[in-house]
Chain A
Amino acid sequence: MFWQKNIETLPREQLEKLQLLRLKATVKRVYAKVPYYKKLFRAKKTAPKEIKTLEDITKLPFTTRDDLQKNYPDGLLSVTKDKLVRLHTSSGTTGKPKAVFFTEKDIATAANNMARCLTMTGVTKSDVLQNMMSYGLFTGGLMMHYGAEKIGALVIPAAIGNTDRQLLLMQDFGTTSIHLTPSYALYLAAIFEKKGRAFRKKLKLKRAYMGAEPYTEETKNKIESILKLKVYNSYGLTEMNGPGVAFECGFQAGMHLWEDSYLMEIVDPKTDRPLPDGQTGELILTTLTREGMPIIRYRTRDLTAIIPEKCKCGRTHRRIMRIKGRADDMFILRGVNIYPQQIERVLMSVAHVEKNYQIYLEDNDKMTVKVEITKKLFDGNLEHLKKLQFDLTEKLRAEIMVRPSVELVEPGTLPVSEGKAKRVFDNRKIY
């Protein structure tokens, strides 16, 4: 199902023409109206007239999280304040928040993209969407709300919490789609299990959208099997309007990114060089239609790859892979970019090890993965442990092209750093 078939299936050539037109306009706009961008452009010895093709985007400066924070609260506006109708913020773990402003048209575009996403997963005006996300400074709640309303679906703005009432709403109003955080979904799953099959039979749930926190495939599978619905992966960030930047279609093989709204690039996070489709790197996004606060080459720090093949659904907007991790966590071994999440995925698939591991890098590019032997993994059989070690080594080699040595260690022996667990210990003296 399409929300805007013409634009969603626009032939690549025309889509790229449209992108170039919009890119040129955006670049002109920020250069003329945002002093900070003018400064960045000049520092890179570039100007709007340099942009003649889409590839010329590499001549433009990046915008980082730091740039947004430096310009808090309203340093990157390209319209006068009376044109703005909304602001959202995204709080960083450190320092100042980032503020993002929207004109009426910006909100309409974001809602329209969201409507495309929802339609793509089967939502129609007969659907009932229970929005169990926080409504507030966070973009997730409101943008989903606007998108579903645009389609004509019935939206229940349930917001977060009060599980009894959530269940009652689902039951009384025939909720078909839910939008929630993965941790709340897991909580609901536990309650569904307690309530039993008869309770689930009373509900009309078909699909769930999970946002605001990353989740593993295992979590997704668990939620799908217990809640008995389909979970569609999505990608979004406040800086780029929140949810609905990229979304899975019915074929669920990567997320279509709306290329008429965003120009995407993948670059090597260490060298900043552009990478071809299919290769994993940092996702860089440029807004193509935003009025209030256009952003040029935003470094999302999210790692993914563009899927070059056409999707069976007929949409021409290219897909990106599920986010594979944060660029900040990446390390290089024997010239290969590796990120901890790759290792985590293998550990999950082989042994359901999720967090109990550490990676040590030593000179001569030696890599050791230490895996804690938890109760789940230990059945008292030595052969099983040896097999686990062997399987982990082989699967890791296949994934990262480097053969690590896998060590099995007792739980609690891995050093724990304060707060966020440290995964990678790089003890190499020579790079």
Chain B
Amino acid sequence: MGFLDIRNVTKSYGAVEVLHQVDISVQEGEFLVLVGPSGCGKSTLLNMIAGLEGITSGEIAINGRVVNAVHPSKRNIAMVFQSYALYPNMSVAQNMTFGLEMHGVPKPERDKALKDVAALLQIEPLLDRKPGQLSGGQRQRVAMGRALVRDPDVFLFDEPLSNLDAKLRVDMRTEIKKLHEKLKTTVVYVTHDQIEALTLSTRIAVMNGGYVQQLGTPQEVYDDPANVFVASFMGSPSMNLIPARLRLNGQAAVEIADGAGQPVALPLTGTPGGAQDGDALLFGLRPEALTDTEGADRHARNIVTFRNPVDVVEPAGSDTFVTTTLGGKDAISRMRADTRLTPGQTCDFAVNMDKAVLFDPRTEQRLRLT
């Protein structure tokens, strides 16, 4: 029993089921991020929590009360929309207190709530303006302010930062995080940006095609992905997925082809259960687990090195991304910014096998080591 319970919820439009058996329990004060590609059903799920979309089957409970049949305004939630949805004919102050007015809160209390939130978000000078006279970032603040004055049980955010420019997005991201740490209100936050998901959340639900692919803390989702989709969706640049074979004679190892097509054996820290010698695998390796030897994680227990040619070198400010060929495919390695590699050169690569993950190439599910 959590604070917000989504129990076996499905959603169908006519004969098409767009959400399948979603089951998520959110504790009070948690920051849950729903992340996934466009059309995966994030907004639909959020709108169902808000009561803006009907629930086809299953139930949603907020604070111990099943809300399937409860009107949006009676669920004690507040929502921030992607377009901000500020009422164009009302001033900022009216926008922010409209919900309180509709809920019959007396004027003095409304004014007090407005004052507190305006101070918190530093938007006091804007209170008399109309939304049309605000910049994008200011509108975003007002939209958050409108949600905050309600002092709800749950905040719902639907891609609140996607209309802002890159710099402002990062600033507001930090601000939302600070706000959550201060207020400790339960949040459900929709985004398709995996960085936002990783930085803001206490837990992430990675969605695809109407299914929750994995539900876990940012670290679980990043280091311990349940399947190929989660592995490649989370993280930028995304995880290298290298075609490999399992070798079980002697110590268990994966065998990949290096740039020259020669087999390289990388010893595993365990054996994948049920797998046979010679089975095809997808060997998943984050770019930061494939480095030059000096850059390798000093706390890692299993580092394997081998030589391979460098194909492309891309400096990206704080890091340099080096592309090399492994298993016949491009693999990206994250190196220090001051690496002096040039394309065509051969270099020692260090693989951190602690961080390596294996997938079954047919089911795309994770193969866990035992």
B is a partner of A: no
Interface set of A (CB-CB < 8 Å, partner B): none
